[in-house]
């Protein structure tokens, strides 16, 4: 069964999908952000240091320099 995600309330066309990250010590942080799958919408919700941030600019990650661990 495919996983279902909530519809984006901003545009109504995309779904909100979760993104994960790693903390400063390398521990996984699940559901750190939710973003709309509609590229024209751009809605996003992020959790940083226990605070919720809405609608921050979305940056193209391919432009970042790779960090080797």
pLDDT digits (tens, 9 = 90+) for 5-64: 999 999 999 999 999 988 888 999 888 999 999 989 999 999 888 899 999 887 777 766
Query: DSSP letter string over 10-25?
Result: TTSSSBEEEEEEE-TT
Residue of 5, 3, 13, 4 lying closest to 43 (CA atoms): 13
More confident residue, 69 or 35: 35
Query: End-to-end CA distance of the chain, in Å?
Result: 36
Domain locations in the chain as residue ranges:
1-51
> What confidence category does residue 1 fall into, taking pLDDT thresholds of 50, 70 and 90?
low
Q: For 26-33, which contacts have Cβ atoms below 8 Å and span 24 or more sequence positions? A: 26/69
């Amino acid at each position: 069964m495919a996983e279902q995600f909530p519809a984006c309330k901003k545009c109504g066309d995309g779904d909100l999908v979760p993104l994960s990250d790693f903390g400063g010590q390398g521990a996984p942080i699940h559901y750190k952000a939710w973003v709309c799958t509609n590229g024209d919408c751009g809605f996003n919700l992020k959790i940083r240091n226990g605070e919720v941030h809405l609608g921050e600019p979305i940056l193209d990650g391919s432009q970042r320099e790779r960090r080797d661990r």
